[in-house]
Amino acid sequence: MAVRLTVPIDEKSVRALRIGDSVLLSGLVFTGRDAAHKYMKETFIAGSCPASERAVYETLRKGLAGGVIYHCGPVVRQRPDGKYEFVAAGPTTSIREEPYEAAVMEHFGVRAIIGKGGMGPRTLEACRKLGAVYLHAIGGAATLIAESVREVVAVHKLDFGVPEAFWEIRVADLPCVVTMDSHGQSLHERIEAESRRKLAELLAR
């Protein structure tokens, strides 16, 4: 049975999760890929936030406290009324954000990262230290996942381009699987180790 999580997520709920758990996520989520993570790290964490970026910072600071970042470059269309909607919302490869993610999680109080392929040791340690999880979304199911996006609340930094902007979305029952938990466990590490073992066996024959 899937665990239902609603954003903002408290630490106790995250600590109760283990790798392999199925999750249905509801609430406010922010998309963010390479440009977004670089921007957060350089503008808000390593640098001093200029006045021109203060509104974006305050939105992220509020929305990511106990919140979720989804590594996603959506396909978006604009309706006649001017509002946006997601056509496709599949996950992108998460490891590209490894240089930034731990710092972003700590600074903003992020509780969950969604993506595909897993992340590295710094993010795993941040999950353990901060009480956060990595949720694996279904690759190749971009249209199906888009059905979970019930509303595009806002878009920030659209000048980065549609795939790289921060899309602030409201989701309902977005399906994910916990593959990195807050107890230092990673399914990705286990699978990689098992694959290496199997390869060594094959090469030894």
What lies within 8 Å, CB to CB, of 178 at 6+ separation is 17, 18, 19, 20, 21, 22, 23, 133, 134, 135, 136
Token pair listed for 89:
């919302």
Q: What is the mean pLDDT of residues 86-102?
A: 94
Tokens 């106790």 identify what position? 12
pLDDT digits (tens, 9 = 90+) for 135-154: 999 766 677 788 899 999 99
Higher pLDDT, 4 or 195: 4
Q: How far apart are CA 90 and CA 180, in angstroms?
A: 19
Q: What is the pTM of this model?
A: 0.91
Active-site position among 37, 71, 136, 156: 37
Residue 37 annotated to the active site: yes
Instruction: Give the range among 78-82, 106-110, 182-186 with minimum mean pLDDT.
Output: 78-82
- H helices of 24-81, in order, are 34-39, 54-63
Identify which of 112, 154, 158 has the alpha carbon closest to the alpha carbon of residue 135: 112
Q: Per CATH, which fold does 3-204 belong to?
A: fumarase (3.20.130)
CA dihedral 39, 40, 45, 51 (to 10 degrees): 80
